[in-house]
Amino acid sequence: MKSYLFGIILVVLFLTVLVHDVHAKKPNFRPGPWRTGRATFYGNADGSGTFEGACGYGDISTKEGKGGFGVQTAAISTALFNKGAACGSCYELKCSQTTKGCKAGASTITVTGNNECPGGGWCSPPQEHFDLTQPAFLQIAEYKAGVVPIEYRRVPCKRTGGIRFSISKNSNPYYLLVLVWNVAGAGDVESVMIKGDKGKPFKPMKRNWGQNWESDDNFVGQSITFRVRTSDGKKSTSWHVAPKNWQFGQTFEGKNFR
């Protein structure tokens, strides 16, 4: 009888832990509510002219451009950009079909926030504005329209492969600058933690600009682990993603979100 009761207690404890783990696990990022805004375009017909950007992903019109977003990007207004915190976030957009200038029969498009729309005009706070690449704009609106009212919402980012950590070639042993990109799920990055392999705990990195994060600790000769947290509270840890012999200017691929 005692062994029977003991077995029941073990089962109950196991189920309690299991339920706790299920509830503790954060759900995958889900689409947000539809909001209203406006869209314009910048750059050339092939997407060129969208150089660098305030997130640090590079020129999206070249193969060297980081992020793999192609021309499906937008420079977002100051209110949305949030001092770089929104870099990498994904948005579903559709032209308000009650307005002239919308492309007939156009579906929605999904773009990544990769730049900040310059202040002034449509981009000034508190306006919610998307300055799209020309190819992206022409998927939902006519060229002659110039500016159109839209509806938009945050959506999960779909990425290929893992989170990338690009160590700047301009770093040095006491100044490590890392670009975090190709982030799935929420897409944006709220915080980054870093640790070496000498038994010290994780330390927070500081946002330098866009999605470039810095640390003043010396990790030369150590493997490096990064822990990325997105705006929905989910975390992804890429253990020892950079080996002991890592070099400045290299990029490493870690664990991504769903």
Per-residue three-class SS string for 197-257: CCCCCCEECEEEECCEEEECCCCCCCCEEEEEECCCCCEEEEEEEECCCCCCCCEEECCCC
pTM comes to 0.86
pLDDT of 21 > 50? The answer is: no
Residue-averaged pLDDT of the chain? 88
Q: DSSP code of 25?
A: S
Tokens of 3: 């062994």
pLDDT of 168 > 90? The answer is: yes
- E strand spans, 13-108: 35-42, 73-76, 90-95
pLDDT of 15 > 70? The answer is: no
| Average pLDDT value for residue range 103-110 | 94
Given this model, what pLDDT does residue 191 score? 98
% pLDDT > 70, the chain:
85
pLDDT of 41 > 80? The answer is: yes
Among 26-30, 134-138, 142-146, 190-194, where is mean pLDDT lowest? Answer: 26-30
What CA–CA distances, in Å, run from 243 to 144, 222, 239, 252, 254?
52, 7, 10, 9, 12
| Average pLDDT value for residue range 2-16 | 43
Given this model, what pLDDT does residue 61 score? 53
pLDDT category, 50, cuts 50, 70, 90?
low
List phi, psi (to 5°) of 24: -75, -25
| Average pLDDT value for residue range 25-39 | 89
pLDDT of 221 > 60? The answer is: yes
What lies within 8 Å, CB to CB, of 239 at 6+ separation is 225
pLDDT tens for residues 59-103?
A: 655 544 555 688 899 999 999 999 999 999 999 999 998 788 999
Given this model, what pLDDT does residue 118 score? 86
What lies within 8 Å, CB to CB, of 44 at 6+ separation is 134
- What is the residue type of 237? T
Given this model, what pLDDT does residue 99 score? 80
Given this model, what pLDDT does residue 62 score? 52
Burial annotation 139-175 (CB, 10 A radius, 16+ → b, else e): bbbbeebebbbbebebbbbebeebbbbbbbeebeeee
Given this model, what pLDDT does residue 70 score? 82
- Domains and their CATH numbers in the chain: 35-155 (2.40.40.10), 164-253 (2.60.40.760)
Rounded to whole angstroms, the Cα distance separating 213 from 228 reads: 11
| Average pLDDT value for residue range 121-133 | 95
